[in-house]
Structure 1
Amino acid sequence: MDVRVQGTVAPDPFLSAAALLETEYELSRPVDVQIRENPDERTWAAHYEDRHVLNISRQAATSVMARELALHEFAHMARYEQRHASHIQSTEEALFLALAGKSVERRKLSHCYQIANHMKDIYADDITLDLAPATKLIDFFAAKLADALADRPAEDDRPDSRLETPGADPEITAVNAAFALGLVERHGLVDRSHRLYDLAGAAAADAPAVDLSGFKERFKSLGDEPSESEYRKALVDVTRAYATAE
């Protein structure tokens, strides 16, 4: 696996993540790691005919989560090369099918894209959790949900957000909590006494229109190898469930 780190950061976390991935998977394309200066810019993977690109902020690249974040994005690259249904399905197509003829708030539409990313993340994390300990990831989820709950925005000041960012809209925070619970239950990582469950309960209380248990089950029960039509239906259904909830 050819990993090329572009920027003045230590390459060790990225090389370590690549070595972990290579114990079970191969990437046929090289990976360019591009360091971004904006600390608020999320980590994401991009795919091209001749390479993959891991975009990551300098803050994330030098954090204690650097290896885990890199491994997660490498897992997305592996799913893309596998042509896994979750990584070749057009999000725009699924949202069009789910929301055709419906009036949806701009913030909820933005959240639908985030939910689609969660669906992809489930399949990437099926790889990462098979290769590396889950402790840091679980602590990361708990810390970010706690931050979001502690920094609730005012009713008329609700920025769009991902799980990684505090101050989330209460409704997407509840879905984020459902995603975290769905993932840990899918892999049997924690028991019901873990603080994630208390945090998720608080998030659900803030967003009564969101069926936290229902979304958790949707994430948890995704099939390992869905056909393209099966995955499209799952994405359409979860999008419609969120966008039309009142």
Structure 2
Amino acid sequence: MDVHVQGGPAEPFLGARDLFSTEHDLKRPVTVRVREDPDERTRVSHSDDAHRLTISRQAATSAMARELALHEYAHMHHHECGHPSHTQSTREAIYLALAGRSVEQRKLTHCYQIANHMKDVYADDIWMPVVPGDKLVPFLEASLAAAVADRPGDPPTWDRSTSSTRVRQPSEPAARLTPAADPDITAVNAAFALALCERHDLVETDHRLYDLAHAAAQDAESVDLTEFKRHFAALSPEPDESEFRKALVDVTRAYAGGGSRAAD
């Protein structure tokens, strides 16, 4: 694996490279660009002859830097191998799932996040057998605890002028009017965290993560925590394109398929 780091510490990314290459390889070189913007965190782009990882300095110097790098290398690996989770058009699957239905803009935005969770499941299947998950569990726990604590006293408010069935791309800014965490997607995130931990046997059933997930589920009456945990945990290790598309359509309908008006 050929990894070049620009603008920040090289050790986490080179260390991750050495670990990753014990089990897998990347044919294309990787350029890591460390940026000052704390909101950048991680962003990956691909071309026919290279991969590029852009990451914030905050993330690149954090205790999770090596694990973040391993995670992104796994995404690159799936991209090179043409894994269905990384070749299936999310936009296409969402339109297929929600055809003829009217869905809130926030729900459509969340559908992209849920699709990303499904990609993450497959990326984590690649790197998690390489290193222990002792850092990941506290990270998931802290993230979920912060989201549960940040829940609004009333349901989150969104600018209804943007509500439509046009699927907004993830790069477009949300028109949210309140800063608090959205209870619905927090509950789905909790289901993802539990599914990930159970898929890789990272926690016992009495772990605090289950209590946090239960609290998140209580704040989101329309989200069935058990159902979404099953969606993530039951993803086939080696799906074909049709199987993954069906899984993505099913989870999209489970989350946002309740509308009744015809789509625009």
Which aligned pairs between 1:140-151 and structure 2 lie closer than 5 A? 140-151=139-150
**Alpha-carbon separation, structure 2, partners of 1:136 and 1:67:** 10
| Percent identical residues | 63
Task: State the match for 2:49 in structure 1.
Answer: 50
How far 1:42 sits from its partner (Å)? 3.4
Q: Quick check: 1:181 aligned with 2:194?
A: yes
Moved over 6 A (4+): none
How far 1:24 sits from its partner (Å)? 0.5
Q: Which sections of structure 1, spanning at least 5 residues, go unmatched?
A: none
* Cα distance change, pair 237–146 in 1 and its aligned pair in 2 (3 A): same
1:63-119 per-residue CA deviation (whole Å, 9 max, x = no partner) reads: 111101011000100111111111111111111101111111111110000000000
How far 1:154 sits from its partner (Å)? 4.7
1:105-157 per-residue CA deviation (whole Å, 9 max, x = no partner) reads: 11111000000000000000001111111011111000000001111135365
Q: Contact between 1:147 and 1:167, CA under 8 Å: does it hold in 2? A: no
Higher mean alpha-carbon deviation, 146-155 vs 126-135, is at 146-155
How far 1:222 sits from its partner (Å)? 0.4
Count of residue correspondences? 241
- TM-score, with length taken from structure 1: 0.94
* Cα distance change, pair 158–138 in 1 and its aligned pair in 2 (3 A): farther
Task: State the match for 1:197 in structure 2.
Answer: 210
Q: Contact between 1:4 and 1:31, CA under 8 Å: does it hold in 2? A: yes
Q: Contact between 1:149 and 1:167, CA under 8 Å: does it hold in 2? A: no
**Alpha-carbon separation, structure 2, partners of 1:156 and 1:227:** 39
1:5-42 per-residue CA deviation (whole Å, 9 max, x = no partner) reads: 111x2100000011111001010000011122221223
**Alpha-carbon separation, structure 2, partners of 1:167 and 1:57:** 23
Task: State the match for 2:232 in structure 1.
Answer: 219
Q: Contact between 1:86 and 1:119, CA under 8 Å: does it hold in 2? A: yes
Task: State the match for 1:128 in structure 2.
Answer: 127
**Alpha-carbon separation, structure 1, partners of 2:45 and 2:153:** 35
Q: Contact between 2:41 and 2:58, CA under 8 Å: does it hold in 1? A: no
Structure 1 or 2: more helix by fraction: 1
Which aligned pairs between 1:226-245 and structure 2 lie closer than 5 A? 226-244=239-257
How far 1:168 sits from its partner (Å)? 2.1
**Alpha-carbon separation, structure 2, partners of 1:245 and 1:198:** 28
Task: State the match for 2:184 in structure 1.
Answer: 171
**Alpha-carbon separation, structure 2, partners of 1:24 and 1:134:** 17
Aligned-CA RMSD value: 1.7
Which aligned pairs between 1:94-105 and structure 2 lie closer than 5 A? 94-105=93-104
Q: Which protein has greater RCO, CA pairs closer than 8 Å, 6+ apart?
A: 2
**Alpha-carbon separation, structure 2, partners of 1:199 and 1:15:** 35
* Cα distance change, pair 38–132 in 1 and its aligned pair in 2 (3 A): same
- TM-score, with length taken from structure 2: 0.87
Higher mean alpha-carbon deviation, 139-148 vs 186-195, is at 186-195
Q: Quick check: 1:5 aligned with 2:5?
A: yes
In terms of Rg, which structure is larger? Answer: 2
